[in-house]
Structure 1
Amino acid sequence: MTDRTVIVTGAASAAGLGFATARMIAAEGARVYLTDLDGGEVEKRAAELREAGHVATGLTQDVTEEAGWTALVERVLADTGRIDGLVNNAGIAVLRMTAELTHESWDKQIAVNMTSVYLGCRAALPTMQAQGAGSIVNLSSVAGLVGIPACTAYAASKGGVRLYSKALAMEVAASNIRVNSVHPGVIWTDMQKVALADNPDGYDAINASIPMKRMGEPDDIANMVAFLLSDRAKYVTGGEFVVDGGLTAQ
């Protein structure tokens, strides 16, 4: 990843998938732009990477705003002149049964998890096409592959990311731009910690349901994303990569 420029959204949480990815690819030599709605926290994460000797910038971004994507791309190009990778990681989980799911909550889930992916890809593609190369990794979920109760809006957004990624991969393959989706299973992140705080008895039950009998770690996802961003995956596009300890193989 030496001298590659990569954007990673949703990277403010120290225990999150975005920061784990940014940390890993920065250690491999990438210039990383970490973005998040929480600008103060994302700059702290970028500062941690700089203190470790890496090149990293933290920027405030609302991924649902088109103007923000335009400004982000302009900033990155002004700094580095290129965009080699984009990781659309920002997301939220609205977990409600359909009868309890408001229209407002549905719209917010789709906007943050799916529409933002379209906006990010559309903003970065002209630069990648001019370069003749690029890699986009969109974070989906196992909930975008199988049905899970109380995940209707979340599943719709993540299923949309899965097929959007495949369709876009077909559109840009001839330009040497690769697009893939990654589907995490149950990963021990802040989002998972909050969910289990509401249902503390669920921890053992969740682990029991996973063939490997344990939750994954953020670096398990970061390893897959880093692979897809790199030249090690130069012939890989339109794929869906499940990292779930065997959960969806049952």
Structure 2
Amino acid sequence: MIDPGRQQQVVVTRPAGQQQRLMALLTEAGYQPLHQPALEIEPVPVDGAMQRTLMELDRYHAVFFASVNAARLALSAMADLWPQWPVGVHWLAVGRATAAELESWHLPATVPEDGFNSEAVLALSCLQQLPEKQVLICRGDSGRELLTQTLEGRGARVDALAFYRRHGVSGITLSEQTGWVMVTSVQSWQALQPGMPENCGVVAAGERVAAAVQVSHSGPVRVAASAHDDDMLTALITGGVGG
């Protein structure tokens, strides 16, 4: 059992620059948020091969952005090559925060109504009939291959460009006063796990992350519907999916 006196202290592990909204929501809800990034984001230089792909954006049926970082870095590179955005392209975002980044570049973003993961994106109507169509995925240097494999199975030619690398932060040690830690990826958990207090609670972004946590952690785990800020807060307050 977690000591009730510690439950108000919640560690947010998003990379630097992506924690503000969640911490504000936690504060508003009466918690004491602390920021401890579990991952560092390193931009990947845009080389000649990547530029050649980006110069042909108008050939793509859809361009998908797998994260806010991917959108920010990819769109910056694209804007250097495209004074005006190509028409006829479906601009797809994994979730609302990523969609907001697209909209800040004056692009109409399509985002799943429910769920913010590959499965939800694959349910979008524009990705159902793909023979002879091309899809570009803008992402980090690692991640699930489900999206690529499924789109190829539907007949698409898929190109994927990595715009950043993720590095786990080493040597993280969380205070025994920590009540809950918010974990949004398996890679984040791998960085956090060695320094986790034994009975500290974890709010995990989805069943896949929760399963990774439960393999090596004996404390309570609450499963959020997605990594979105609102879903993470809801899981903390209500007990999570099925809670």
Larger radius of gyration: 2
TM-score range, shorter chain: 0.3 to 0.5
Higher helix share: 1
